[in-house]
């Protein structure tokens, strides 16, 4: 298996622009997680899905953030409009659905100017 | 709110030293505690602990969990420069009813091993 695949790897955009981050989880994994990592706050859970259904989005910072999982093999995290404080590395991770490890993608590094 | 606190936040040692990293937690519906190593990219899995007092070991790394005192330690003996990384502690919790599972991470410990 190729592992969790994220795109783009790097994104530089200007304040106010829309940003869409993409994730393909490991086939057969029921859970998908979106995390954001910054020096100040560490790894924060934004939202997670179970069988494509959003379970907990309490970590989504504002209405500017939204996430979807239209099918078992694809998820998006959208920021509209983006702000400089959104600059971070965004990780997608998937899990087979039992207590255990998460498998992380390589991350998408977002810079908002 | 679930809390996972790691200490120290950063540590600088010389090759050959032994280090101990700490992780304490305060969560609802604990299921597991995991350690990850993060170099330049994604976190990679090291250990998962679910039972108190049982040491997990992999080479020079070992870890143990104390569910009564709500903490875990990660030991690295005979450190090497390749051990330089951020070490992340995460606690797995289930939702009420136990049907869903998520990991809450600490902020990590940045370990630097100098030659």
Residue-wise pLDDT for B38-77, tens only, equals 998 899 999 999 988 889 999 999 999 999 999 999 999 9
Among A57-71, A87-101, B37-51, B72-86, the range of highest mean pLDDT: B72-86
pLDDT at A1 (0 to 100): 62
- What is the nearest CA distance from A99 to chain B, expressed in angstroms? 6
Q: Indicate the pLDDT class of residue A2, thresholds 50, 70 and 90.
A: confident
Of B92, B100, B103, the CB nearest to A55: B100
Per the listing, tokens 């086939």 go with: A27
Residue B81 CA: distances (Å) to CA of A46, B12, B17, B21, B115? 33, 11, 11, 17, 6
What is the greatest pairwise CA distance in chain A?
40
Terminal alpha carbon distance of chain A: 36
Q: Which helix (H) or strand (E) holds B38?
A: strand B30-38
**Residue B10 and residue B25: Cα distance in Å, rounded?**
18
Which of chain A's residues have a Cβ under 8 Å away from the Cβ of B102?
33, 45, 48, 55-56
Residue range A77-97: mean pLDDT, rounded: 95
Please indicate whether, in this complex, the C-beta atoms of B42 and A43 are within 8 angstroms of each other. no
Q: Are A33 and A103 in contact (CB under 8 A)?
A: no
pLDDT at position B29 over 90: no
- Residue B4 Rama label (left phi>0; alpha psi -120 to 50; beta): beta
The percent of residues above 70 in pLDDT, for chain A, comes to 97
The whole-angstrom separation of Cα A9 and Cα A113 is: 17
Helix, strand and coil percent figures for chain B, each rounded to 5: 5, 60, 35
Residue A99 has pLDDT above 80, yes or no: no
Distance from CA of B60 to the nearest CA of A (A): 21
Counted across chains A and B, CB pairs separated by less than 8 A come out at 58
Contacts of A113 (CB under 8 A, 6+ apart): A12, A13, A14, A15, A84
Rounded to 5°, angle at Cα B49 from B59 and B14: 40
Tell how far CA A78 is from the center of its chain. 9
Residues facing residue B87 across a β-bridge: B37, B109
Give A31's contacts in chain B (Cβ within 8 Å): 101
Q: Which two structure tokens, joined as six digits, stand for A15?
A: 């304040």
**Mean of the per-residue pLDDT values of chain A:** 94
Cα B31 from chain centroid (whole Å): 15
**Would you put residue B78 in left (φ > 0), alpha (ψ -120 to 50) or beta?**
left
CA distance B27 to B49: 15
Whether residue A34 is predicted with pLDDT greater than 90 in this model: the reply is yes
Structure-token match 């899905």, residue found = A49
Across the interface, do B101 and A98 touch by the CB < 8 Å criterion? yes
* Paired tokens of B86: 């951020």
């Amino acid at each position: 298996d190729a592992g969790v695949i994220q795109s783009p790897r790097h994104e530089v955009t200007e304040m106010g622009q829309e940003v869409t981050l993409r994730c393909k989880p490991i086939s057969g994994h029921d859970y998908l997680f979106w995390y954001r990592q910054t020096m100040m706050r560490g790894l924060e859970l934004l939202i997670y899905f179970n069988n494509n259904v959003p379970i907990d989005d309490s970590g989504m910072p504002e209405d500017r953030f939204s996430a979807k999982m239209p099918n078992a093999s694809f998820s998006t995290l959208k920021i509209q409009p983006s702000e400089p404080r959104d600059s971070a590395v965004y990780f997608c991770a998937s899990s087979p659905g039992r207590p255990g490890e998460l498998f992380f993608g390589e991350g998408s590094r977002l810079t908002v100017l | 709110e679930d809390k996972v606190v790691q200490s120290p936040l950063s540590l600088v040692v010389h090759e050959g030293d032994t280090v101990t990293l700490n992780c304490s937690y305060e969560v609802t519906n604990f299921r597991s505690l995991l350690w990850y190593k993060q170099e330049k990219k994604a976190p990679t899995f090291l250990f998962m602990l679910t039972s108190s007092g049982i040491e997990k070991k992999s080479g020079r790394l070992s870890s143990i969990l104390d569910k009564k005192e709500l903490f875990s330690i990660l030991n690295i003996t005979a450190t090497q420069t390749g051990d330089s990384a951020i070490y992340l502690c995460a606690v797995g919790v289930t939702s009420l009813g136990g049907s869903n599972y998520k990991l809450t991470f600490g902020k990590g410990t940045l370990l630097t091993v100098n030659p």
